[in-house]
Amino acid sequence: MARTAEPSLNVAQLQQLLQRRQSELSKLERKRATLSRRLDVIDRRIAEIGGGMNGRRGGGRGRARNDQSLVEVIHGVLTKAGEAMRVADIADAVRKAGYQSSSPNFRSMVNQQLIKDKRFTSASRGFYQAKK
């Protein structure tokens, strides 16, 4: 459908309006990030005290919090094993070591870490070990 009426704003006015909105958006995103960091501090404090997660953002489900990163746990598992392991066996051992994840793609996450981290080497297809 073609427009027949002339627009009420010229190009320069439209650019100014767009620039103002982008500026406002940027300010709001910075404000959201600041508030999110403050809420994270409060959530950690509540958890330290032993409070419930009733007010937790994200519907109360929350992300699993682990003492060590996934890469650190994988490294510990492979170092302890002392030999090459299959990705699926590594993922199982990481979970048995206490790493918590609700990801339906946990094995893929383990595989990605094995590929990208320099502390691991591929012994053969699907088998990884800690570098010596």
- The overall longest dimension of the chain from CA atoms, in Å, is 76
Residues facing 78 on adjacent strands: none
Tokens coding 71: 């890469």
- What's the pLDDT at 71? 94
Asked whether 62 and 56 are in contact (CB, 8 A), the reply is yes
Across the range 49-78, mean pLDDT stands at 75
56 vs 6: CA distance, rounded Å: 51
Q: Mean pLDDT over all residues of the chain?
A: 85
Which range, 23-32, 35-44, 107-116, 123-132, has the best average confidence (pLDDT)? 107-116
- pLDDT tens for each residue of 22-34: 999 899 999 998 8
Q: Is 4 left (phi over 0), alpha (psi -120 to 50) or beta?
A: alpha
The CA distance from 70 to 78, in Å, is: 12
| pLDDT of the residue at 5 | 56
Decide if pLDDT at 56 tops 70: no
